[in-house]
Structure 1
Amino acid sequence: MNLEEKLESLTPRSLLKWLAWILGVATGLFGLVLTLYLMEFNNGFSNENSDWGTFGDFVGGTLNPIFGFLSLIALLLTIVLQSKELESTRIELERSASAQEKTEAALNKQSDTQEKQQFENTFFSLLDQHNKALEKISTPTGKYTKGRSVLDIVRLSVFSGNHANLQDAKNALEKHNDICGHYFRVLYQVLKFIATNVPDGSVGSEFSQETIADSKLAPSEKMYSNIVRSFLSYDATQLLAINCYCADRLDTYWNFKLLIERYSFLEHMPFKFKEKDHVLLVSTKEFYEKNAFGRTQFKTSSQKA
């Protein structure tokens, strides 16, 4: 075993052995020098200061270099051992830090998973309520309505009437608020919940008009809103466009309008009624921002009423 390997294998126990050997060698050398001196100058103890000074110079001159060398060796061995212990401590701290980072990452992932699960539990519960409300107004009723649904009746009332503008159409729709208003309120709450609670969303609980209009649309936010939109029929989408009409930002429907634009809820809405472009539906292009109509905005030739 070479010197480097011996130093690598140095432990506190082996260091004590080395120090004991060094102390033993130093003691032996001191005894040897003292014995040699007494053997050479055996005239007994002198009363002269000069003789004692000569004795001290002899012992010091002989042993000081050797003791200094042995002390240096002991110091170097101690430094080597301390360096090894510091290195071991550093490695252990790095391992602890790495383990802590992994633990924190696992806890964060677990927390994100739990947050997503909590969101989805509430979301799908709201979606179920939404679908029930939509089914209620979309299912054909009794014989007195000639087998038509509430949605058909309200849609016919709004788009067959002589309404000059969107405000008149909105007024006509609100006359049926007792039978279809509940559905639009449920839809609004579902979209609001997505905007304010989706895990990676940016709207937040503040839910201000500025954040709805300007904050970045998160991928999961778009995904959940698309799920909701997929349940709406063309008829429901057309009435939704009328329902969310409002005069200005102070109107209580303004946030609803911003959500419709944010999630492109009118992307597949046909602008036709009874096979013809309807002036009210066409005029929604001027009221809503273009992003409300998504990628298929204003393409009406292949759409069906």
Structure 2
Amino acid sequence: MREAIAIVLVTFILGVSLFSMYRFFIEKGGRSSDENIPPISNALMVWLALVIAGLVLLSFVALYGRRLNLDNNIGQIGDFVGGLINPVLSFLALLVLLRTTLIQTGEARKTTDFMRQQQTILESEKFEATFFQLLDRAEKYCEIYLRTKSDENGKAKSKADKACEDILARREEFAGKSVKGQLKLAKAHVNAALEHDVFMNFFFRAARVVNFVNNSTIPDDDKASYLGVFRETLLPPERILFSNYIFFNYRHMRLLLRKWGVNHLREHGYVAKVVYDYYDSEKD
């Protein structure tokens, strides 16, 4: 009887091992490459529990020197088997609990990452909505007050075109002055030509767009892209007026124009060479 029980137990252990290995590889092969692998496989846990139980019984059969009499020694057998298996099963239960905790931690991390991505998307959508709203207001203002052309001496010119001609008319005169002289004369000339409500309201709207993008939390590459859209929205005469007036009156804003290349003008688009040299110098 002892030999028969041993054979059955050995066969049981081998069968469980083969089946568990088969299930383990099935589970492993069924996972996608980007799926998180559980810390402990289900097949492995079943194999450990059954194999340990089989080994304990096999040890009992092999080490019990007397003839097996289950009817008279059932209590002792139960104490022996239970005393060996219970600690092992408790340890396996601890491993299962650890596995469950790790899986829950991973899922919580996924949820946190997902919420962070959702928050980023919402912030991006909110930024775009505000940006294009500010851009639309600035463009509509330009359409109404700066781009409307009137016939003057047989030539249709917009208000922005006329203002550009006015501030650039004395460019050659300023070129012969020193740097300090250019700054002093050009500033007085630009302010006299542009300090009117129509132009000031345009400057405020344009500066608000630049400040909004610069102060946002989006990456610098995205800031450059959005400000590129803003730059392309403005016509060359509007960029000339904006860049020249800002240079002489708003130090912080002129730094931003140079940093992001919002002006994007050639030398003949500035009232004096000193202004061109500033914008064309290496960006901060």
Class of the TM-score when normalised by the shorter of the 2 chains = 0.5 to 0.7
Instruction: Give the greater-gyration-radius structure (CA).
Output: 1
Partners in 1 of 2:83 and 2:279 — Cα distance?
83
Maintained 8 Å contact 2:186/2:272: no
Partners in 2 of 1:172 and 1:9 — Cα distance?
90
Q: Aligned-pair distance for 1:147?
A: 2.5
Maintained 8 Å contact 1:119/1:198: no
Q: Aligned-pair distance for 1:232?
A: 2.4
Q: Counterpart of 2:93?
A: 85
Cα RMSD for the two superposed structures: 3.5
Maintained 8 Å contact 1:198/1:220: no
Shift in CA distance, 134/168, structure 1 to aligned 2, threshold 3 Å: farther
Cα-to-partner distance string for 1:66-112 (whole Å, 9 max, x where unaligned): x6x86553222001211221121122112211211111111111110
The one-letter amino acid paired with 1:83 is F
Q: TM-score, normalised by structure 2?
A: 0.65
Maintained 8 Å contact 1:123/1:193: yes
Partners in 1 of 2:245 and 2:147 — Cα distance?
20
Q: Determine whether 1:74 maps to 2:82.
A: yes
The one-letter amino acid paired with 1:221 is K
Shift in CA distance, 153/219, structure 1 to aligned 2, threshold 3 Å: same
Indicate which of 268, 281, 284 corresponds to 1:290: 281
Q: Aligned-pair distance for 1:266?
A: 3.3
Q: Determine whether 1:169 maps to 2:186.
A: yes
**SS of the residue aligned with 2:215?**
helix
Shift in CA distance, 116/183, structure 1 to aligned 2, threshold 3 Å: same
Q: Counterpart of 2:234?
A: 232
Mapping of residues 32-111 of structure 1, within 5 Å = 71-111=79-119
**SS of the residue aligned with 1:197?**
coil
Gaps of 5+ in 1: 19-24, 32-66, 201-217, 247-251, 295-305
- Same amino acid, percent of matched pairs: 17
Gaps of 5+ in 2: 1-10, 18-45, 58-68
Partners in 1 of 2:184 and 2:12 — Cα distance?
96
Partners in 2 of 1:220 and 1:141 — Cα distance?
35
Q: Aligned-pair distance for 1:138?
A: 3.7
After superposing the two structures, state which structure 1 stretch, 163-172 or 109-118, moved more.
163-172
Indicate which of 209, 212, 216 corresponds to 1:193: 212
Greater relative contact order (Cα < 8 A, sep 6+): 2
Maintained 8 Å contact 2:267/2:276: no
Maintained 8 Å contact 1:150/1:180: no
Task: Tell me the number of residue pairs that the alignment of Structure 1 and Structure 2 aligns.
Answer: 221
Partners in 2 of 1:30 and 1:197 — Cα distance?
78
Q: Counterpart of 2:127?
A: 119
Q: Aligned-pair distance for 1:130?
A: 1.4
Q: Aligned-pair distance for 1:289?
A: 5.9
Q: Aligned-pair distance for 1:291?
A: 3.8
Partners in 2 of 1:70 and 1:226 — Cα distance?
81
User: Counting helix residues as a fraction of each chain, which structure ranks higher?
Assistant: 2
The one-letter amino acid paired with 1:90 is L
Q: Aligned-pair distance for 1:170?
A: 2.9
The one-letter amino acid paired with 1:287 is Y
Maintained 8 Å contact 1:169/1:242: no
Partners in 2 of 1:97 and 1:147 — Cα distance?
70
Cα-to-partner distance string for 1:277-301 (whole Å, 9 max, x where unaligned): x7x4432233336245x9xxxxxxx
**SS of the residue aligned with 1:148?**
strand
Shift in CA distance, 144/266, structure 1 to aligned 2, threshold 3 Å: closer
